[in-house]
Amino acid sequence: MKESVIIVGGGPVGLLTALGLGQKGIDVTVLEAEDKPNDSPRALAYPGPILEYFDNLGILETCKSLGIVKTAVDWLVHDTGEFLHMSMDCMKEVSDYPISLHVGQDKIALVVLEKLADLPNVTVRYSARVKDIAQDQAGVRVTLDGAADGEVVEGRWLVGCDGASSVVRERVMQTNFFGITWPERFVATNIYFDFEAEGYTATTFQVDHEHGAVIVKIDPEGLWRCTYMESEALPVETVGDRIAERFKALLPGDGAWKLKQHSPYRMHQRCADTMRDGRILLAGDAAHITNPTGGLGLTSGVLDSMALVEALGQVITDGRNSAILTEYSDDRRRKFLEIASPRASENKKIVYHMAPGQQRDEWVDYMRSAAQSPDILRQMFSFSEQLVTRF
């Protein structure tokens, strides 16, 4: 059987992995259950290490042209109105990518698809729902459902990038996905509102135990993401009816906002027991999920892709021992469980649960000092480097 890779899932992690492997000359088939690319912006923040990956893949400049280049992060203490401004200028001395980028993951997917069109060794198939997967020492066989019912796709390796409800993880690997589900509900809204006129930068974490929110600019046309939290006890069917009342207290100014779309969802901290089972591997939300405060979900997933492209590429093109794929699994799990997930949980606590009092006062004092210290700021903005796995 020819060395080839099947990727289940055509989201950003799956497509980026296909591009990375395809550029190494490896035959790749992407199987996506839906009939077209997902057109929701969803996650949208990409720190320096991911920009390096995009640059290596040849898509960075196109992505930058479609999004917002971020050079600072603000923390807003909601009830006092104090902005704690954290400039990224200090990163120019230590990084080739001293910025972050905001681009909806739907746009990233389209950029990657356009790039994949130039690679005859990569095929992306939509309406290709997986029915069954079997593996042996020689390779992997995927049986399709739906319109292609009974068709079999064969490859030497398979990567499951099929999201939190992964068929690959649940039905094939049958590995545990232990963790917690947070008791609250998140509500992500995409709105048009002139936040910049109110002093907001492209990323503002609004700190308040009642009106906490993450507010980020999505695109140059003035679309913003405002994500807040509400009680899970409230009926999910009427989330939209409550938005106007929430925004009265949550947003500044005269309330001249326009809602484009909203989406309620539950939050989790979960990780698969393993990201490798023989010739089958996991990446992205199929392997681990986190609450989105700080953007560490997609960041972790894209960095999975970067690591897997390197590890699997070495196995296929350089003849390296496949034990490196177990190293991939172990290190990506460790970085999620010990670094990404705890930081996301801490971010959630600060933004959505910090009430006025001594603890908040001490945090504000620290952040005021940090804003004036290039050394502390460099530590803050270099955090994502801790999530990188290199081979």
Mean pLDDT of 51-72: 97
Amino acid at 94: V
> Is-above-0.75 flag for pTM?
yes
Amino acid at 240: G
Dihedral through CA 220, CA 223, CA 228, CA 233, nearest 10?
Answer: -150
**End-to-end Cα spacing for the chain:** 26
pLDDT band (50, 70, 90) for residue 186? very high
Q: Looking at residue 150, what DSSP letter applies?
A: T
Q: Which tokens belong to 262?
A: 């909203």
Mean pLDDT of 167-172: 94
- Predicted confidence at residue 93, as pLDDT, reads 93
Place of tokens 């020492």: 137
- Predicted confidence at residue 146, as pLDDT, reads 77
With 60 as the cut, is the pLDDT of residue 102 above it? yes
Cα separation, 64 vs 361, whole angstroms: 37
Q: Which of 137-151, 176-190, 273-287 has the lowest mean pLDDT?
A: 137-151
**Domains of the chain and any CATH numbers:** 4-70+97-178+269-349 (3.50.50.60)
Cα separation, 295 vs 301, whole angstroms: 11
Q: Which tokens belong to 182?
A: 């947070």
Mean pLDDT of all residues belonging to the chain:
96
CB 224 within 8 A of CB 186: no
The percentage of the chain sitting over the pLDDT mark of 90, rounded to a whole number, equals 95
Mean pLDDT of 18-42: 94
With 80 as the cut, is the pLDDT of residue 147 above it? no
pLDDT band (50, 70, 90) for residue 1? low
Torsion 303-108-162-292 (CA) sign:
positive
* 3-class secondary structure, 250: helix
